Structure 1
Amino acid sequence: MFKTLGKLAIASACFAFASQSAHAHFQLAYTPEVNVTAPGELPVKLIFWHPFENGHVMDMKKPVAFYAIHRGDKIDLSSTLSEVTFTGKENTAKAYDGTLTLKRSGDYVMVVVPEPYYEESEDIFIQQITKSYVNRNEIPTDWMEAQGLVTEILPLNRPTNIVAGSTFTGRVLSNGEPVSGVEVEIEYMAAEPDMDRNAPKEPTAGPMPGGAIVAITDANGYFTFGIPKAGFWGFAALGSGPDKEFQGKELSQDAVLWVRAYDVQ
């Protein structure tokens, strides 16, 4: 692992701006605080949304799976889910509230496997298999490990305390193998959800001119992005999964990862 980290110092990626498409959707597994000290219950919101532009919200069906990995153990969180209505700037849609219970110190890797979503405008299904992270007491235990998902982004920087102004590197995997030439869309959570109101807070930024921000994975599946601003950043590797069809239509099985960046105080 640490030999691999050393190689990342020279890893490079290609960046471009692409036109907005259905893939500007991002699956969220959101809790406001990702670095905590006390044990207890954390509220989590599962929303399928356009958080950069505080845009359209998509209806979620109940996820196929919702769980956390802690010290290598799987903790099923599906029983904590309850349906809610999330009201975005443009519309309302079905979302879910859940709960993550923190006991021992270390990393908690939340995983959401949603039902595929039918995007009528492009006549395709989208399934965004999503990871996000919470840490208790600053003890690293799980963040640097792949979680054995059909597709996922393996972070090469600790995802709960990225320094704004530094870089983040991830590696896109499909069935555990690196995938080259994958488009990775990059999203800033400009409007964070208000946990009590089930609505977005005031946005702190606007979407970039020119459309979605995109990186391309290199020959070994790596991409690197300079994090310009504190907050939550999402990465979606489009079509990186092995499943390409659902109910007789094209399926984009995407790997999504959320990280939290902070300004240096």
Structure 2
Amino acid sequence: MIFHGNLMTAALALTLVPGLASAHFQLSYTEDTMIDRPGDVPVKLIFWHPFENGHVMDMGEPLEFYAIHRGEKIDLKDTLTQTSFTGSSNEAVAWDGNVPVKRAGDYVLVTVPAPYYEQSEDIYIQQITKAYLNRNTLPTDWTEPQGLKTEIVPMVKPYNVIAGSTFTGRVMSNGEPVAGAEIEIEYMAAEPDMATSSPKEATAGPMPGGAVVAISDANGYFTFGVPKAGYWGFAALGVGPDTEHEGKELSQDAVIWIRAYDVE
């Protein structure tokens, strides 16, 4: 896999931006990314502030929810049921679904949520989100873009990143790279408890100084040093082609979740 020289520039652009509030993040959460046995894998769709176990936003019914496996689309919308998720400060609408993981290979989970109205900013937010599962360590789909309006394409296998190494992604909009994209980065400090639909105990706190941010280079690439095992989310803000919804500004964001592990 070829990396571009501008990756170093993008990596050096990583910074803390005090002016940014804690990030909204669309979650597509599974307890594990590496699946040993065939069966249905439960998924929770939550719109949340996961780094600080903060405010939970009501999710409308997702417009699309599906998996890509060996290049084929598996529609999962019929598996969704409306539920709720209780964070540290409030309870909000979330969705439970499942993924039938049978054959070996990658399962790329795609969630296209309904736009969410953020009253405090008077804008809509739509975070088109990808997450990854794999069965039996056979890579099949993770390197490919999924043809979404906007997405982050991983340059590092996203379901078993080594903590202490780096993750590189490429921000795309309508199939074209996005230069100068602002990518907010969050650690899932308190993972959801699948049984209680509430957070488990937090294993980290928010970074001082505000949101962690990287800027994509001229070819859409960015790199982040992954310091800790667990789930990491990357949200490229306002990079999608759609900029308006119901007469108001729309921030159409690309989100990707990766899973990092310690070397043991």
Tell me if both proteins adopt one fold, taking TM over 0.5 as the criterion: yes
Q: Report the equivalent of 2:120.
A: 121
Post-superposition offset of 1:103: 1.0
Post-superposition offset of 1:20: 5.8
Which letter maps to 1:12?
T
Q: Distance in 1 between matches of 2:159 and 2:151?
A: 17
Q: Distance in 1 between matches of 2:224 and 2:253?
A: 18
Q: Report the equivalent of 2:48.
A: 49
Q: Report the equivalent of 1:139.
A: 138
C-alpha contact (below 8 Å) 1:188/1:233 kept by paired residues: yes
Which letter maps to 1:60?
M
Post-superposition offset of 1:10: 5.2
Q: Distance in 2 between matches of 1:126 and 1:39?
A: 35
Q: Distance in 2 between matches of 1:187 and 1:20?
A: 16
Q: Distance in 2 between matches of 1:177 and 1:37?
A: 36
C-alpha contact (below 8 Å) 2:6/2:218 kept by paired residues: no
Q: Report the equivalent of 2:9.
A: 12
Q: Report the equivalent of 2:90.
A: 91
Q: Report the equivalent of 2:81.
A: 82
Is 1:62–2:58 an aligned residue pair?
no
**Structure 2 unaligned runs (5+)?**
none
**Cα deviation digits, residues 35-79 of structure 1 (max 9, x gap):** 012110100000000000000000000100000000000000000
C-alpha contact (below 8 Å) 1:22/1:119 kept by paired residues: no
C-alpha contact (below 8 Å) 1:160/1:261 kept by paired residues: yes
TM-score, normalised to structure 2, is 0.97
What RMSD, in angstroms, separates the aligned Cα atoms of the two structures? 1.3
TM-score, normalised to structure 1, is 0.96
Specify whether residues 104 and 8 from structure 1 end up closer, same or farther in structure 2 by C-alpha distance, changes over 3 A only: farther
SS at 1:97 equivalent: strand
SS at 1:122 equivalent: coil
SS at 1:24 equivalent: coil
Post-superposition offset of 1:11: 4.2
- Identity percentage of aligned residues: 66
C-alpha contact (below 8 Å) 1:11/1:222 kept by paired residues: no
SS at 1:12 equivalent: helix
Is 1:170–2:169 an aligned residue pair?
yes
SS at 1:132 equivalent: strand
Which letter maps to 1:197?
T
Q: Distance in 1 between matches of 2:79 and 2:3?
A: 40
Is 1:231–2:230 an aligned residue pair?
yes
**Cα deviation digits, residues 208-257 of structure 1 (max 9, x gap):** 00100000000000000000000000000000101111111110000000
Q: Distance in 2 between matches of 1:47 and 1:175?
A: 25
Q: Distance in 2 between matches of 1:21 and 1:6?
A: 30
Specify whether residues 10 and 63 from structure 1 end up closer, same or farther in structure 2 by C-alpha distance, changes over 3 A only: closer
The answer to which of 16-25 and 201-210 deviates more is 16-25
Q: Distance in 1 between matches of 2:33 and 2:50?
A: 18
Q: Distance in 2 between matches of 1:90 and 1:239?
A: 27
Q: Distance in 2 between matches of 1:160 and 1:50?
A: 22
SS at 1:118 equivalent: strand
Q: Distance in 2 between matches of 1:207 and 1:257?
A: 19
**Cα deviation digits, residues 120-169 of structure 1 (max 9, x gap):** 00000000000000000000000000000000000000001100000000
Specify whether residues 248 and 6 from structure 1 end up closer, same or farther in structure 2 by C-alpha distance, changes over 3 A only: closer
Q: Distance in 1 between matches of 2:127 and 2:78?
A: 21
Post-superposition offset of 1:18: 1.6
SS at 2:78 equivalent: helix
SS at 2:55 equivalent: coil
Is 1:102–2:110 an aligned residue pair?
no
Q: Distance in 1 between matches of 2:239 and 2:52?
A: 24
**Structure 1 unaligned runs (5+)?**
none
Q: Report the equivalent of 2:201.
A: 202
After TM superposition, what 4+ stretches of structure 1 lie above 6 angstroms from structure 2?
none
Post-superposition offset of 1:8: 6.8
Q: Distance in 2 between matches of 1:146 and 1:212?
A: 27
Q: Distance in 2 between matches of 1:164 and 1:189?
A: 14
Post-superposition offset of 1:12: 3.4
